[in-house]
Structure 1
């Protein structure tokens, strides 16, 4: 399963929260059906009179992201943050789109902002770990993955990436243990890693 896709399954299982308008509800419906251009048009109509609505800005950004329009998505996410600077959903979505674009320093920055928010979810620590991992800071990445796992024992993706990090730093036996955990949690990429490293 691709990293970005899985992140949104985990991070935004309630991705389109209901807003109080027909236009926004249409946007939500279009998004759920995969009609992202129509969703953007509906959110545009909604935001004309409610330009500070964080959820609508965020949802429009997610629609742009699904179309691969990262600049537009970034613009909407940053606009949402001007009205709710501690919104972890928005912060982590920014981190994720920067990861997709291999802008790992920016991905780390927004993951760090998310971690600093009181009550930050396990995903915030995981996303920080991913950025650190990509930047070559393996020991700090290991700590962040471990924190995410401590917070959520069912975080299959965190086990998987921590396992990959262990393989890369010659901790093969422990890495295989993480892959077994990821497999038990149905993270599908872990089976291939097991076959490659754990014979």
Structure 2
């Protein structure tokens, strides 16, 4: 009877610990949060040995690789995660952002556009799309994409700021000043300097 009580007590304690812990929490998450990307990569890799198709761990390891400057391995993880979950807008946005960093604007546009089409996608999808279009010299389309980003998130200071810079490049100073003022009201860095430079 005493042994049975001990077994029951251990079962209850184990159940309580399981309920209080976060089962989806990977030790790599803690390392990632503290900027210890090598350690995070090791933890995610260890987890992926047992669950090689875990989209979350693939994505997180990809982010750790990216933060560590290893874009090729980051891309490999993102692509594999996307194969497993084709409508994951986080993965699509990470691929878009990574390609933008590498100045591969065509692929950045492709992934950002795919992310933008997914229901519930954040304003960042339209924003990255706009940046890629801007770099490709498609100014009018870029303006529309910045407008979409702002429509999705009225407090997206960087979208106002970048749209203002694009308008300056297009010779539309008056309208750019409105964007810089909105960016400044949202305390986006550099907006006051842009106002001082272009809107005297």
Q: How far 1:119 moved relative to its partner?
A: 2.5
Give runs of aligned pairs for residues 44-193 of structure 1, distance below 5 A. Answer: 44-193=45-194
Distance 1:19 1:137, change over 3 A: farther
Larger radius of gyration: 2
Q: Is the partner of 1:153 in helix, strand or coil? A: coil
Give the whole-Å Cα distance in 2 for the aligned partners of 1:19 and 1:164: 44
Q: Is the partner of 1:102 in helix, strand or coil? A: coil
Give the whole-Å Cα distance in 2 for the aligned partners of 1:192 and 1:54: 42
Give the whole-Å Cα distance in 1 for the aligned partners of 2:194 and 2:104: 26
1:13 alignment partner in structure 2: none
Q: Which runs of 5+ in 2 are unaligned?
A: 1-20
Distance 1:19 1:69, change over 3 A: farther
Q: Is the partner of 1:78 in helix, strand or coil? A: helix
Q: How far 1:94 moved relative to its partner?
A: 0.5
Give the whole-Å Cα distance in 2 for the aligned partners of 1:82 and 1:19: 26
Deviations 1:105-147 (A, max 9, x none): 1100101111121232211111111110110000000001001
TM-score, scaled to structure 1:
0.87
